[in-house]
Structure formats: structure tokens, C-alpha cells
Structure 1
């Protein structure tokens, strides 16, 4: 008998959670240090999150 391969659904979920955390921390970093680098990281993170979630 052939064994069915189980899909790993936890890895994409962890990646999405990491993107969400990066976005929130990026926004917090922007307001804490008045540096736009955190805002750029948050925009990229939320953009990737939106693209992957709605595909």
C-alpha cells in the first residue's frame, strides 16, 4: 500500500505569523525611533502578507 503524504500546513501559517509580527514591530520601531526604515519593513511585510493571503 502506498502511504499518503501529509501536507505541512503549519509552515505557511508560521510564515504568515512572522510577517504579521514583522509588520507590527516595524510600525512600533518607526514611532519609537522616528526612523523610516521600520515603516519600509512594515510596508513590505504587510504587502507580502496581503498578496499571499488573497492568492
Structure 2
């Protein structure tokens, strides 16, 4: 495996972690996360809108 691929994977990991933090913060504030953050986490934005709040 080349060094470039290793750094690429680390970058994806950092972006995924950042999206998770941003989505969690948005939900905690009572806001909807951005579509970009949801897609990065593998969540379909249309399905996220159907989640009921208790």
C-alpha cells in the first residue's frame, strides 16, 4: 500500500469523525444536521426526516 492511500484513508476517517460531531451537535441543539454530514455518515437524509421525536 502506498503512502498516498494511507493518508487518503486517514483523511476520510477525519472527515467522517467531523461529520459525526457536527451531526451530534446539531441534534443536541434541536436542529437538523446538513445533508452532507448525513450522507458522509451513511444516513439517507429522507429517512432522517422520518425519525420521530419522543
TM-score scaled by length of structure 2? 0.56
Count of residues in Structure 1 that have an aligned counterpart in Structure 2: 39
List runs of 5+ in structure 1 lacking aligned partners: 31-37
Structure showing greater Rg: 1
TM-score scaled by length of structure 1? 0.55
List runs of 5+ in structure 2 lacking aligned partners: 44-54
More helix by share: 1
4+ residue runs of structure 1 moved beyond 4 angstroms? none
